[in-house]
Homo-oligomer: A and B are copies of this chain.
Amino acid sequence: MIPGFRVGTASAGLRASGEPDLAVLFADHPCVAAGVFTTNRVKAAPVLLTQERMLNPIRALVCNSCNANACTGPQGRRDARTTAAHAAGLLGIPEESVLVASTGVIGVLLPMDGILTGLDEACGLGGTWEQAARAIMTTDTVPKLATARVGDFTLTGIAKGSGMIHPNMATMLGFLVINAIIPQPELQAALKEAVDRSFHQVTVDGDTSTNDMVVLLAGGREFLPGPLRDEFRETLTEVCARLARAIARDGEGATRLVEVRVEGAGSPGEARQAARVVAGSSLVKTAIYGADPNWGRILAALGCSGAEFRPEDVEIRIGTVVVCREGVPVDFDEDEARQQMLGPEVRLFAHLGAGEACSTAWGCDLTERYVEINGSYRT
């Protein structure tokens, strides 16, 4: 799918179904790496190890699902190192050039026998990106991948995360590669910007996890030519946004993707925050599930987002239906508004009348199924 990179998957015995739960991404050439990591004070062992190695030339990344290797103490940190070392041995590359990632249940040691046996198979690198996207799924229902061209080069990404998605970087994994060399500071800046405008604008349930990371590897025979750098940044944001939307759409128990667009905010930060708070409001999410054009909940969410505005300057639309203007209800066609909430994608729009800044956030509806999934995840 992308020249210069290969992938492999295997079962490490972590997934009850016996399907693959382990993925290896391998680069033929040493890569420059960039990363954005969870801000949770409790960071899983693989997050700590990967952060340590970010400035090394990177050749591979190993990711397992179904076990987070978080809250596992010194043994967990040893297990993360052992995983990387074993893969390095099999792939014939330096141990320090291997990154690791995990997602799944917290507080349980990795079953290392299964991991090492699985690696023996996965390091054969006979898999596809689609298989890798499947192997890293937890409660996801569909694999998430996106690819795009940047000149003659290819940018490919996979992601997982359906519940517990929230700024900043809740249980969300994203791995992206491009088969061109890009200097680290530039790569890191581009990833940071792309993540701020995509993954960080996705919210499913407001919780931030111990394991999240987005890693971007850039490596090949050639440097990305200067004239393509702007296109690269835009394409990276677009690919990340496609993955982010896929994550929101696949929110645990979700039946609808919700896109919240905020315009007229006083600052970009306020725009982002306001959009996220609306997308994350339990009351907005349940109203969308019920296809109830209860715009008061949207206005109330905007009001507690911290964004500065005067209620009498606000306009709100559900889809194309204006439901509130100058902070008070307008007569609107309830059936039409309801109709626009019944599709697989619901668009909410708010203009705050306080400035020029705008932003978009993505979320999903909140359903009984979310409760079912999370009421019995571990057992």
- Chain A positions within 8 Å of B, measured between CB atoms, are 39-43, 68, 70-73, 76, 105-108, 163-164, 205-210, 280-283, 286-287, 289-290, 292, 294-297, 299-304, 307-309, 311-312, 324, 326-329, 366-368, 370-379
Residues in chain B near residue A375, CB distance under 8 A: 286-287, 289-290, 292
A296 contact from B106, B205, B299, B300, Cβ within 8 A: B106
Q: How far is the CB of A335 from chain B (nearest CB, A)?
A: 12
Residues in chain B near residue A290, CB distance under 8 A: 374-377, 379
Residues in chain B near residue A105, CB distance under 8 A: 294, 296
Residues in chain B near residue A70, CB distance under 8 A: 296, 300
Known: A39-B304, A311-B42. A371 touches B286 (CB 8 A): yes
Residues in chain B near residue A327, CB distance under 8 A: 42, 71, 73
Say whether chain A's binding surface is mostly helix, strand, loop, or mixed: loop
Who on chain B is nearest to A74 by CB?
B328
In the A-B complex, list the 3 residue pairs whose CB atoms are closest, starting with the nearest: A106-B296, A290-B375, A42-B303
Q: How far is the CA of A205 from the CA of B366 in the complex (A)?
A: 12
Could you list 8 further interchain pairs (A-B, Cβ under 8 angstroms) beyond the known A42-B303, A205-B283, A370-B371?
Answer: A70-B296, A72-B328, A107-B324, A286-B374, A287-B377, A289-B375, A290-B374, A366-B371
Q: Is the CB of B379 within 8 A of A368?
A: no
| Oligomeric state, in copies | 2
Q: How far is the CA of A75 from the CA of B287 in the complex (A)?
A: 26
Q: How far is the CA of A94 from the CA of B263 in the complex (A)?
A: 45
Q: Is the CB of B164 within 8 A of A283?
A: yes
A282 contact from B206, B210, B302, B376, Cβ within 8 A: B206
Q: How far is the CB of A138 from chain B (nearest CB, A)?
A: 13
Give me 23 A-to-B residue pairs in the complex whose CB atoms sit less than 8 angstroms apart, sorted by A's number: A41-B311, A42-B303, A71-B311, A71-B324, A71-B329, A76-B328, A105-B296, A106-B296, A107-B295, A107-B296, A107-B328, A164-B283, A206-B282, A207-B283, A207-B301, A210-B299, A210-B300, A282-B370, A287-B374, A289-B375, A290-B376, A290-B377, A368-B371
Q: How far is the CA of A92 from the CA of B207 in the complex (A)?
A: 53
Q: Is the CB of B372 within 8 A of A282?
A: no
Residues in chain B near residue A309, CB distance under 8 A: 41
**Most chain B beta-carbon neighbours within 10 Å: one of A70, A307, A375:** A375
Known: A289-B375, A375-B287. A303 touches B207 (CB 8 A): no
